[in-house]
């Protein structure tokens, strides 16, 4: 890059600054991975050994918009998780490899450059299956037996744990029934 003066009295800087643009990195090949969080999608990819030293970051895109960025920090394989997604919506996902700018010599600089987009994944987030409302089966001095119908599972979603949440008001309402009433 050479600076041309706007005024005749200005001097051109010496020596001139050179900017070098590195070759465009190869786009990664991304794959979907299973996640355990509901309403989430996971992806993974690896760096080709030839590009490992040059790639400095990856930009992750969700529906064409930048969603996040990961610095390589010397790592070889990467994963990324999208959380809090909408159920029953298909998302377009891709990743770009980036080579960052840096100073190569006193007057030589490398500009930053991105790869083309990776392969596109069209994915839906995992959604917990809908179950039935819990109901009280039996109350006894040691507690309450609560039952519910198990949800229908498919090949993508497996139920591994159940959580029961009761508000304080529910606790008070149910505890009234279990108290001994004396006349």
Q: Which of 15-29, 43-57, 84-98 shows the highest mean pLDDT? A: 84-98
| 108 and 143 both lie in a single domain | no
Within a domain: 93: yes
pLDDT digits (tens, 9 = 90+) for 97-122: 998 888 878 878 888 889 999 999 99
For the cut 90, the answer to whether the pLDDT of residue 48 exceeds it is no
| 36 and 93 both lie in a single domain | yes
| 168 and 78 both lie in a single domain | no
| 87 and 58 both lie in a single domain | yes
DSSP 86-143: PTT-EEEEEEEEEE--EEEETTEEE--EEPPP---EEEE---PPP-PPPEEEEEETTE
Within a domain: 73: yes
pLDDT band per the 50, 70, 90 thresholds, residue 146: confident
Domain membership of residue 55 as a residue range: 18-124
- C-alpha 48/C-alpha 25 separation (Å) is 10
Within a domain: 2: no
| 93 and 163 both lie in a single domain | no
| 67 and 86 both lie in a single domain | yes
Domain end, chosen from 79, 101, 124, is at: 124
- C-alpha 19/C-alpha 116 separation (Å) is 21
pLDDT of residue 54: 85
**pTM score, two decimals?**
0.66
pLDDT digits (tens, 9 = 90+) for 71-93: 998 888 999 999 999 988 999 99
| 70 and 100 both lie in a single domain | yes
Please count the structural domains in the chain.
Answer: 2
| 106 and 174 both lie in a single domain | no
Nearest residue to 55 via CA among 30, 31, 77: 77
Within a domain: 153: yes
Tokens found for residue 77: 């394989």
């Amino acid at each position: 890059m050479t600076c041309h003066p706007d005024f005749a009295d200005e001097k051109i800087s010496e020596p001139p600054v050179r900017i070098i643009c590195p070759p465009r990195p190869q786009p990664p090949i991304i794959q979907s991975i299973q996640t355990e969080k509901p309403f989430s999608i996971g992806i993974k990819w690896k760096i080709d050994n030839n590009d490992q030293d040059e790639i400095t970051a990856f930009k992750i895109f969700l529906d064409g918009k930048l969603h996040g960025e990961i610095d390589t920090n010397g790592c070889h394989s990467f994963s990324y998780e999208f959380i809090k997604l909408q159920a029953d919506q298909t998302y377009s996902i891709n990743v770009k490899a980036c080579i960052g700018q840096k100073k190569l010599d006193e007057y030589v600089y490398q500009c930053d450059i991105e790869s083309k987009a990776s392969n596109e994944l069209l994915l839906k987030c995992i959604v917990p299956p809908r179950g039935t409302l819990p109901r009280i089966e039996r109350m006894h001095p040691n507690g309450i037996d609560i039952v519910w119908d198990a949800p229908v599972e498919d090949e993508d979603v497996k139920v591994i744990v159940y959580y029961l949440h009761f508000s304080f008001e529910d606790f008070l309402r149910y505890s009234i029934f279990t108290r001994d009433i004396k006349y």
